[in-house]
Amino acid sequence: MENSKTAMISIEHSKESAKESILYSYKHGFSGFAAVLSQSQAKLIADVPGVVNVVPNRILNLHTTRSWDFLQVKPQIVDGILSEGHSGLGTIIGVMDTEGIWPESESFRDDGMGKFPSRWKGICQEGNRFNRSHCNRKIIGARWYIKGYEAEFGKLSPSDGVEFLSPRDAVGHGTHTSSTASGAEVKNANFRGLAQGIARGGAPSSWLAIYKVCWATGDCSSADLLAAIDDAIFDGVDIISASLGSPPPLSTYVDDALAIGSFHAVARGISVVCSAGNTGPYPQTVINTAPWVMTVAASTIDRDFPAVITLGNNQTVVGQSFYTGRGLNKFHPIVYGADIAATNIDGTSAGSCDLETLNATLARGKVILCFQSRWQRSAAIASKSVLELKGAGVIFAQFPTKDVSCPWSFPCVQVDFEAGTSLLTYMAASRKPVVKFSFSKTVIGQQLAPEIAYFSSRGPSSLSPSVLKPDIAAPGVDILASWSPAASSKLLNSPQTKASPFNFKLDSGTSMACPHISGIVALLKGIHPKWSPAAIKSALVTTEASMKDEYGQNTVAEGAPHKQADPFDYGGGNVDPNKALDPGLIYDIKPSDYVCFLYAMGYNSTAIRLMTRVHTPCHKSVKFLRNLNLPSITLPELKQRMTVSRTVTNVGPVNSIYVARIQAPAGIDVSVEPWILTFNSTTKKLKFKVTFCSQLKVQGRYSFGNLYWEDGIHVVRIPVVVRIVINNHLYSET
């Protein structure tokens, strides 16, 4: 790095100007720096001896009560206090998916929290409306990073009240994710009367360290993110929670800031949990696919928010809504958006109630029925369009989903296409069709759950298809958690809504699923402090993570159409935290194995050494891709016969005998050798091989199965994914 800094001085012609150009020096987890350079300067730096790569700053995006009870996570109380190990006590969660935190929230009070550990080296960085007093025995550290963001977009001014140049949260996202992972218990929490109950995080005794790398625009600089990870490693966090990333095309692992930073964190025993992305339900959209991170998909819980639409003939249609405001208790005329199109606007655009497509006179005072279209998919846009024309409300018909996308601040009810079509039938048969809405209410236990959310990004990985992603699914739909009052006050802009800023909010996204896993990882770390990040991931994925809903039916993945969920939707399944505490067997991985994985990916050896700072003798053998000791087996190119190996470590009873059971993918013969594993006081690790042989003579789609190891107490399951390839021609359908 010294050579490159010397080159910077030469390029800038002075130490002073070179110093001004350098944004960050990375020194704790990895070596390098971030600087503002022209393209020609970047090329000159790239040619300096010792500089392996110059990577452009990338802009990443954020991905955004009942959920912990649904997962049956109940922190154990002993003698009136939370017991160690069952509440995350002793662990530090570094929240990096964040636009900061609202420290005054009840979720972050420090009642009963002990003093932070002596190993903690973090700071409480001051700034706009945030000083050292805002840290406590719950929030033990807070930092903010803006140099990379401002180098990309220019100076950010806090004078307009949209943002705080400090760890304070102006948007709500960071407060929501932090409280989901580790918030204290808050009674009578609710969002405008909905989802009322006790809100808490999964690991309420964990300490929180906040690293604000994202800003009110929703953008996050990769240079800032690397600086945050570098500091988090130095500070001493145990878990990094990162609900952010870039959509495909994915950068190589040696060029991706999150992959680089997380590698060094994992090499130091820090578990890194990432969101899978919100571009589902399409295949190959999953992001954050490095094998050393935990990638989390979003699923539903058994809570919904029904609102009844009453027609003029006293028939009713049920949809979902977050609206609890005024103006619902009387009938209003209802019209279809396509029937009141503005001049020179086609019926399709008006039918979806896109902006500036409706006739203002004909929309005023009416409820508008809108149908989702290929070009206009948002209930929020439809509501904005109708609100601007002083309409009375919106009924938005769309594909079936549990995620409520209607805004809470305007009368809007979300229905499926079938219900929307029945409304059209009523309107056609009535001379003066009218409707009225009931208030939305909270109902628990009447929704089949969990289902994989429509928006949750799907596998296979477009970068490393031999690595199954996502790894696991967790609740991420309509999750209640703490919110920033500064953010909520900016949303109160509807004449129907007269309310004070709120402190809790319902939100959806893989951003909401990610901190659920982060909290569960803290629980596991509290009980098994010496387990590696790979061991913890294995425990979550293999312990019969549920592939079924609460009624024993196969989990469904929302999509077009809905289908039975598979490993590309949820990895190992929907997380089961209680079973993960005692997995029986684990699939462990050393950091050096990840280095060999990078070699097998075909990356430049010098780039790998500089990225990892590890000198590991590895061969560039593609066999290593399938033999990496992951808690899954994925063969994207099975041609005839193929054998893979795995090694399991016994973490259950010392004397244990496990027997293999195979649920073979369709059209594939599978055998295991040996099919019995015997552990004792001297034998704690055993290797086995799995051989796959295609029965088919034609190319097929991916097919799915499972490999089980059972000892009468534990059921250790890994998903198996295989695609047949003939004559080197890939079959692209999934």
Distance CA 31, CA 503 (A): 41
Long-range contacts of 24-27 (CB under 8 A, 24+ apart): 24/147, 24/148, 24/223, 24/224, 24/226, 24/227, 24/230, 25/1, 26/226, 26/227, 26/230, 27/230
| Residue 522, phi then psi, degrees to nearest 5 | -65, -40
Distance CA 710, CA 544 (A): 11
Distance CA 260, CA 1 (A): 16
CB count, 10 Å around CB of 159?
A: 7
Q: Which of 63, 86, 134, 173 is catalytic?
A: 173
Distance CA 518, CA 503 (A): 22
Tell me the H-state helices in 411-548: 417-429, 485-491, 510-527, 533-542
Enter the tokens of residue 134: 């805002």
Q: Which of 21, 63, 86, 97 is catalytic?
A: 97
How big is the chain, counted in residues? 734
C-alpha torsion sign, points 413, 414, 417, 419 = negative
| Residue 207, phi then psi, degrees to nearest 5 | -85, 155
Q: What is the DSSP string of 26-45?
A: E-SSS-EEEE---HHHHHHH
> Residue 385: which H helix or E strand, with range?
helix 379-388
DSSP β-ladder status, 641-650 and 685-694: antiparallel
CB count, 10 Å around CB of 54?
A: 18
Cβ atoms of 691 and 642 closer than 8 Å: yes
> Which amino acid, one-letter code, is at 112?
G
Distance CA 33, CA 38 (A): 15
Q: Which of 409, 511, 694, 703 is catalytic?
A: 511
Enter the tokens of residue 193: 């009367």
Enter the tokens of residue 17: 């100007």
> Residue 77: which H helix or E strand, with range?
strand 77-78
Q: Active-site residue 97, yes or no?
A: yes
Distance CA 472, CA 568 (A): 10
Cβ atoms of 59 and 244 closer than 8 Å: no
β-bridge partners, 43: none
Distance CA 239, CA 232 (A): 9
Distance CA 637, CA 622 (A): 12
Name the nearest CA neighbour of 661 among 709, 703, 719.
709
Q: Which three-class secondary structure string do you get for 532-555?
A: CHHHHHHHHHHCCCECECCCCCEC
The helix/strand/coil state of 286 is: coil
Name the nearest CA neighbour of 182 among 76, 110, 271, 123.
110
Cβ atoms of 408 and 191 closer than 8 Å: yes
DSSP β-ladder status, 81-82 and 77-78: antiparallel
Distance CA 619, CA 529 (A): 33
Cβ atoms of 662 and 709 closer than 8 Å: no
Cβ atoms of 462 and 734 closer than 8 Å: no
Task: Give the residue numbers annotated as catalytic, written as ranges.
Answer: 97, 173, 511
